[in-house]
Amino acid sequence: MQTHDIRRRFLDHFIRAGHTEVPSASLVLDDPNLLFVNAGMVQFVPYFLGQRTPPWDRATSVQKVVRTLDIENVGITTRHNTFFQMAGNFSFGDYFKRDAITYAWELLTGSVADGGYGLDPERLWTTAYLDDDEAITLWQEVAGVPSGRIQRRGMADNYWSMGIPGPCGPCSEIYYDRGPEFGRDGGPEADEDRYVEIWNLVFMQNERGAGRGKDDFEILRPLPRRNIDTGMGVERIAMVLQGVDNVYETDLVRPVIVEAERLTGRRYGSDHGADIQFRVIADHARTAAMLISDGVNPGNDGRGYVLRRLLRRIVRSATLLGATQPTMDRFMTVVRDEMAESYPVLRTDFERIENVAVGEETAFRRTLDSGSKLFAVARDSVVAAGGSRISGDDAFALHDTYGFPIDLTLEMAGEAGLAVDEAGFRELMSQQRRRAKEDAQARKQSHADLSVYREFLDGVPTEFTGYTELNTDARVLALIVGGVRIPTAEAGADVEVILDRSPLYAESGGQIADHGRLAAAGLRVRVNDVQKIAKSLWVHRVTIEEGQLTEGDVVTAEVDPAWRAGATQGHSGTHLVHAALRQVLGSNATQAGSLNKPGYLRFDFNWQGGLSAAQLAELEAVTNDAVDADHAVNSFVTDKDSALRMGALALFGENYPDEVRVVEIGGPFSMELCGGTHVTHSAQIGPVTLLGEQSVGSGVRRVEAFVGLDSYRYLAKERALLAGIASSLKVPGDQVPARIEQLVERLRVAEKELERVRAAAAASAAGDYAARAERVGPVALVAERVPDGIPAGDLRTLAIDIRGRLGSQPAVVVLLGSVDGKVPFVVAANPAAQQSGFAAGTLIRSFASAVGGRGGGKPDLAQGAGNDPAGIPAALAAARAAVAAG
């Protein structure tokens, strides 16, 4: 049974039972206690606490959940996940234990034909809280579970809470017995690998206080109404229903591993260490995609740091498995393809999701490439010397010189069974920066293992025929899988193929590899990627779709002509943009990297400061003038010195052979050393549309552009957008900017007038509030809820004004309001009140929690904010009580 079907059956089952389907909440909620939503019931907490009236008596949902406490264990075990789906049914003061048990049992054991999961009831075990005799009786009466398969467990196992103050209660869990091959007899108490938990039924009836751990907290009071909160792990039940050993082998997770296998050439299940990395990729790719889809971006703290760490662990794991090129776009694509049926945003917002993930990968790969090599040197040195700790000097070198995060050093050291001298690291961070940089540079070394390719690298390099033809006959020189040469490969295999000659372009110079195929009688092979080894050997990464491929075979190697046409447009367009940049900005705008693929180009260049709108417009105009001129595109081979004397541009830092290929467009307009494929005339590039420019690092800027039909499509969308705006504003398109400027100016005037009116209203209101002051002991107290919509700054001004109108008598002002679901509040105390022992900063703490907030300040003035407007009456009452208590 596929996971999407499992989700649908769950929801349909409870809808038939009168539940309302509620969409999953975002993983990011406005809750100061939670980094991410960590349980299916989080969005329902106000209903469980009685703070808000639920719009339904019973509900069902499949909630996105992220838990990051176990991030270090992901991959090491098959039981830990950061992202998972929690299916749940909820009752808000409606049904309780009997019906909750009935609904769960009917779904689990009901026939597949009737919408159930069809599990064998003889393989199900249940647990209950130690003194929950009622639940034990119901399991026997309702579900027919014999007493021998019901186990009583303590608070740590069978008393549920969110880990923070809030609703809680005893629970019953349902376990599935996977059989003796997975562990020993004795039920969940004996072995939770064999007996896997699939459902937890929480009988929510109490509210807990602060505490630590699963069983160290106080039960404060009963909830206003008894509720039901259940959670069925979708991935867990999928594992059971699909008959696989763990969640990583289920239908929505395993495809990520399959893609990682394809990208790295390694095989899942063949090596424990590699399996850990495969599982990290599979878990974190899903989590990262879901977090980005909910608006989280990589950063250096909070949620952003968690996302950054997940993405970087993916990159590192892929690298450890042997990936030498970016992989994030592929992993994000697989997650989208597998998960979008249940989460359409992964498809509709995919471009942004991919860009965020790929951008982080791009930045981190530079860090990882150098840092991992240095770490390996340090690790090997410690092990060879019989030591057990990475020095602070090495850890500092990784962090300071190469941007390698200290937490990643700690993690990698832990995996190697080593410690890190953190104290030494901290000291060097502040005292020995220069020496650490010099030491790190001296240790920088490492080379890839090219032994399997050595025979071919030492012989005749691959003959590339793709400049003049799109297909050629070639001989298979070798087949390689996982770094090992094999004689033959069957349909379905992913293989590296070395040919004596090839028309397929190998990724280099910013141009991504050609797509294409290898063909012969009874043989069909898809070419997914082509990479260069030591700049001379073409390695084709392929999937055999039909037939058998054997070393020595003669095949026809073919380039996908549509792909090549688009790739040449992108690469030639990049040359035009480079030449145009130098015209607009000058010769100091030198290339710092590029990427071009069908319909798109990206060009990085060294430059300080952003480009103005006028510079961008000129850049685009110069580029398209060169397209319109239909310059001839010529290429020739010469020696490097001659090429440079002719004015050909070379990428700084690149090592070129003695003989180089020069590509010129329009004679002196553009001349560069380049091994890429190109159009024959510049008009074939089509229009070039700049998408903008941005910083990608210190002193490095990036421009991106569409070319050809992609450029046309982009411009068509922009034209339609402008037409829509012009229609809305009822002006011709060329008058839209002026009309918008007029509207913005009118808005500024209106805002200033509104501010004047608000100030006048506040001054008038201050007198009214002061007139209503009540006498509480020796204090004149104004404790009021102001009208909704008054922002915090205005609230502060109003409180100060009221305080001033109360004269020299001891006076305290407490004001609370509501703005877009937030609760700003202010306390002001005059000197006489302060002398009587009333401090604003202290008083604010007496009521802030009632609105779910906090605040602070000085004795004369304090302010803060909460997130629960329903608590305002209780907050005012608490403030009055605090003043009355003196």
* CATH number reported for the structural domain that contains residue 771 in this entry: 3.10.310.40
Integer Cα distance of 447 and 531 in angstroms:
17
pLDDT band for 223, please (50, 70, 90 cuts): confident
Q: Are 829 and 796 in contact (CB under 8 A)?
A: no
- Residue at token pair 């997914």: 528
Identify the domain boundary among 410, 443, 476.
443
Integer Cα distance of 371 and 511 in angstroms:
26
Do 63 and 198 belong to one domain?
yes
Do 402 and 501 belong to one domain?
no
pLDDT band for 434, please (50, 70, 90 cuts): very low
| Per-residue pLDDT at 443 exceeds 50 | no
pLDDT of residue 681: 95
Do 261 and 162 belong to one domain?
no
pLDDT of residue 30: 66
Integer Cα distance of 9 and 525 in angstroms:
40
Question: Is residue 49 situated within a structural domain?
Answer: yes
Condensed to tens digits (0 to 9), the pLDDT of residues 614-634 reads 999 999 999 999 999 999 999
Number of domains in the chain: 5
Is 19 known to sit in a ligand binding site?
no
- Name residues whose C-beta falls within 8 Å of residue 331's C-beta, 6 or more positions apart in sequence: 256, 259, 260, 281, 285, 314, 357
pLDDT of residue 860: 93
pLDDT of residue 68: 84
C-alpha of 351 from chain center: 13
C-alpha of 551 from chain center: 42
88 class by beta-carbon count within 10 Å (0-12 exposed, 13-18 middle, 19+ buried): buried
pLDDT of residue 444: 29
Question: Is residue 754 situated within a structural domain?
Answer: no
Do 548 and 573 belong to one domain?
no
Is 4 known to sit in a ligand binding site?
no
Integer Cα distance of 306 and 290 in angstroms:
13
Q: Are 705 and 580 in contact (CB under 8 A)?
A: no
Token pair, residue 251, equals 């239908």
What percent of the chain stands above pLDDT 90? 63
| Per-residue pLDDT at 454 exceeds 80 | no
Separate counts of helices (H) and strands (E) for the chain? 27, 35
Containing 21, the helix (H) or strand (E) segment is strand 20-21
CA angle (530, 511, 664) in 5-degree steps: 130
| Per-residue pLDDT at 441 exceeds 60 | no
| Per-residue pLDDT at 205 exceeds 70 | yes
The CATH number given to whatever domain includes residue 226 is: 3.30.930.10
Integer Cα distance of 282 and 258 in angstroms:
9
SS3 label, residue 476: strand
857: left (phi over 0), alpha (psi -120 to 50) or beta: left
Question: Which residue from 292, 388, 350 is spatially nearest to 64, judged by alpha carbons?
Answer: 292
Question: Which residue from 234, 228, 230, 233 is spatially nearest to 56, judged by alpha carbons?
Answer: 228
| Per-residue pLDDT at 490 exceeds 60 | yes
What percent of the chain stands above pLDDT 70? 94
Token pair, residue 504, equals 């397929």
Q: Are 854 and 864 in contact (CB under 8 A)?
A: yes
* φ/ψ (deg, to 5) at 129: -65, 150
Token pair, residue 186, equals 């004795």
pLDDT of residue 458: 67
| Per-residue pLDDT at 384 exceeds 60 | yes
The CATH number given to whatever domain includes residue 547 is: 2.40.30.130
pLDDT band for 759, please (50, 70, 90 cuts): low
| Per-residue pLDDT at 797 exceeds 80 | yes
Question: Is residue 728 situated within a structural domain?
Answer: no
Condensed to tens digits (0 to 9), the pLDDT of residues 710-757 reads 999 999 998 899 899 999 999 998 898 899 999 999 999 998 888 777
Do 418 and 535 belong to one domain?
no
Q: Are 434 and 400 in contact (CB under 8 A)?
A: no
Question: Is residue 130 situated within a structural domain?
Answer: yes
pLDDT of residue 253: 95
Which amino acid is located at 137 in the chain? T
Containing 866, the helix (H) or strand (E) segment is strand 861-866
pLDDT band for 438, please (50, 70, 90 cuts): very low
Which amino acid is located at 211 in the chain? G
Q: Are 367 and 298 in contact (CB under 8 A)?
A: no
pLDDT of residue 159: 93
Identify the domain boundary among 423, 443, 463.
443
115 class by beta-carbon count within 10 Å (0-12 exposed, 13-18 middle, 19+ buried): middle
Q: Are 811 and 854 in contact (CB under 8 A)?
A: no
| Per-residue pLDDT at 470 exceeds 90 | yes
Token pair, residue 691, equals 């998408």
Question: Is residue 725 situated within a structural domain?
Answer: no
Is 272 known to sit in a ligand binding site?
no
Integer Cα distance of 272 and 422 in angstroms:
29
Q: Are 451 and 457 in contact (CB under 8 A)?
A: no
Condensed to tens digits (0 to 9), the pLDDT of residues 836-855 reads 999 998 999 999 999 999 88
Integer Cα distance of 224 and 674 in angstroms:
74
Three state DSSP letters for 155-204: HHHHEEECCCCEEEEEEEEEEEECCHHHCCCCCCCCCCCCEEEEEEEEEE
In this structure, of 322-331, 504-513, 787-796, the range with the lowest mean pLDDT score is: 787-796
Q: Are 598 and 705 in contact (CB under 8 A)?
A: no
C-alpha count within 13 angstroms, C-beta hemisphere, residue 806? 28
Token pair, residue 8, equals 């649908």
Containing 782, the helix (H) or strand (E) segment is strand 779-785
Beta strand pairing call for 554-559 and 670-673: unpaired
pLDDT of residue 482: 86
pLDDT of residue 645: 86
pLDDT band for 70, please (50, 70, 90 cuts): low
Do 320 and 395 belong to one domain?
yes
In this structure, of 131-135, 277-281, 315-319, the range with the lowest mean pLDDT score is: 315-319
Containing 644, the helix (H) or strand (E) segment is helix 640-645
Token pair, residue 5, equals 């079907």
Do 460 and 335 belong to one domain?
no
Condensed to tens digits (0 to 9), the pLDDT of residues 143-153 reads 999 999 999 99
Integer Cα distance of 750 and 364 in angstroms:
47
Strand pairing partners for 709? Answer: none
Do 504 and 401 belong to one domain?
no
Three state DSSP letters for 39-66: CCCHHHHHHHCCCCCCCCCEEEEEEEEE
In the predicted model, what is the mean pLDDT of residues 277-301?
89
Question: Is residue 192 situated within a structural domain?
Answer: yes
Do 431 and 473 belong to one domain?
no
| Per-residue pLDDT at 437 exceeds 70 | no
In the predicted model, what is the mean pLDDT of residues 421-428?
85
Do 180 and 314 belong to one domain?
no
Integer Cα distance of 749 and 534 in angstroms:
66
pLDDT of residue 429: 67
Question: Is residue 774 situated within a structural domain?
Answer: yes
SS3 label, residue 281: helix
Containing 83, the helix (H) or strand (E) segment is strand 83-92
Question: Which residue from 590, 572, 464 is spatially nearest to 510, judged by alpha carbons?
Answer: 572
| Per-residue pLDDT at 790 exceeds 90 | no
Is 575 known to sit in a ligand binding site?
yes
Condensed to tens digits (0 to 9), the pLDDT of residues 156-192 reads 899 988 777 878 899 999 999 999 999 999 999 999 8
C-alpha of 226 from chain center: 37
SS3 label, residue 89: strand
- Residue at token pair 């004004």: 801
199: left (phi over 0), alpha (psi -120 to 50) or beta: beta
Secondary-structure breakdown of the chain: helix, strand, coil percentages, each rounded to the nearest 5: 45, 25, 30
Condensed to tens digits (0 to 9), the pLDDT of residues 345-354 reads 899 889 888 9
pLDDT of residue 432: 43
Task: Give me the chain's average pLDDT, please.
Answer: 89
Integer Cα distance of 172 and 160 in angstroms:
9
Q: Are 880 and 845 in contact (CB under 8 A)?
A: no
Instruction: Round to the nearest angstrom and report the end-to-end CA distance of the chain.
Output: 66
Condensed to tens digits (0 to 9), the pLDDT of residues 82-112 reads 999 999 999 999 999 999 999 999 999 999 9
Do 506 and 610 belong to one domain?
no
- Name residues whose C-beta falls within 8 Å of residue 635's C-beta, 6 or more positions apart in sequence: 467, 661, 662, 663, 664, 674, 678
pLDDT of residue 302: 81
In terms of residue numbers, what domain contains 703?
567-716
Question: Is residue 202 situated within a structural domain?
Answer: yes
Do 635 and 706 belong to one domain?
yes
pLDDT of residue 431: 64
- Residue at token pair 């040469």: 485
The CATH number given to whatever domain includes residue 699 is: 3.30.980.10
In the predicted model, what is the mean pLDDT of residues 26-41?
82
pLDDT of residue 403: 59
Identify the domain boundary among 443, 467, 500.
443
